[in-house]
Structure formats: C-alpha cells, structure tokens
Amino acid sequence: MKESKIRAVLLLVTLAVTCASGCASGDTRAKGSVRAKDALPAERVYTARDVERAFAAERLRLYSPLPQYAGVTWLFAKNKESSPSPDFSVSVFPPKNVSGEIGLRIQPSTHDRMIRLRNVVVSYASMSSSAARVKAAMARLHRM
C-alpha cells in the first residue's frame, strides 16, 4: 500500500514536470494581458529646470556656474548671503542614473546632510537658515 502511494506521487510529479515543460513553450498569456515589465510605471526623470522650479517655489533661486560634466548639472544657491560657501548644492544626474548607482565625491564642506530623489542629489547644512526650504523643495519635486 505504501509503495502504491509513492508511485502515485512520482507519477503526478512526472506529469506535472512534463506538462510544465511542454506547455511553457507556447505563449500562454490571455489575449490582451499586459506583460509585467510593461505594467510597471516609468520612473520620473527630473531635469535641471524641474529642480529650479521646485526650489524657486520655496524662494530659493539656483544658478549653474559650472559646465555639465559627464551629463551632471550642478546648481547652487543664487544669493549674496551664501557666498563663497553656499548652504546647499544640487546635482542633477543624467536619466540613466534614475535608479542606478551614482558616483559621489565627498569633499570637506559645511554640508552634513544629503538627500537623493531619483537622479537628483542635494547636500546641505542642516543648521543653515535654508535647510527647511531645501527639504520643502525636495518634497515639492517629489510631488511633481
């Protein structure tokens, strides 16, 4: 009796494996169904202009004193108070870096906080007068 149960289980496993390998060779999706990769929403890529708008809404004007390097745009606060060391800086990476790894070079600075939102990285001084507005601008950018 025990042997017959074992044989029945082995037969069912063999049938299941055979059916799975034979049935998987064709397209078994129902007509009109969506593939998983098509169903995922595309990740939002932010442009330097998007970042400037979000920060401007928080009364933080930005400018870019440096040319793009490797597709990265650097933006800094545009006011006399933050010269020569700005309270924050923003790096806008190219679209390929939306969810991938990015290379950051950390240099001595008064900035002690960093926020990454997709292809945008902000470093700022947490005790600065603009810290709350920087966080609000990043939240605004996230809602765009």
Using DSSP's 3-state secondary structure scheme, residue 108 falls into coil
Is residue 34 assigned to a domain? no
Domain-located, residue 129: yes
Q: pLDDT digits over 34-87, tens only?
A: 454 454 456 789 999 999 999 999 999 998 888 888 889 999 887 655 456 678
Does residue 99 lie within any of the structural domains? yes
Domain assignment present for residue 126? The answer is yes
pLDDT at 111 over 60: yes
Residue 64 resides in a domain:
yes
How does residue 92 score in pLDDT terms, banded at 50, 70 and 90?
Answer: very high
Q: Is there a domain that residue 33 lies in?
A: no
Total domains present in the chain: 1
Is 36 inside a domain boundary? no
Q: What is the mean pLDDT of residues 82-105?
A: 77
Q: Is the pLDDT of residue 13 over 70?
A: no
pLDDT of residue 18: 38
Domain that residue 65 falls in? 48-143
80 in any annotated domain: yes
- Asked if pLDDT for residue 24 goes beyond 90, the answer is no
Are 48 and 64 within 8 A, CB to CB?
yes
- Is the pTM value of this prediction over 0.85? no
CA distance 90 to 52: 10
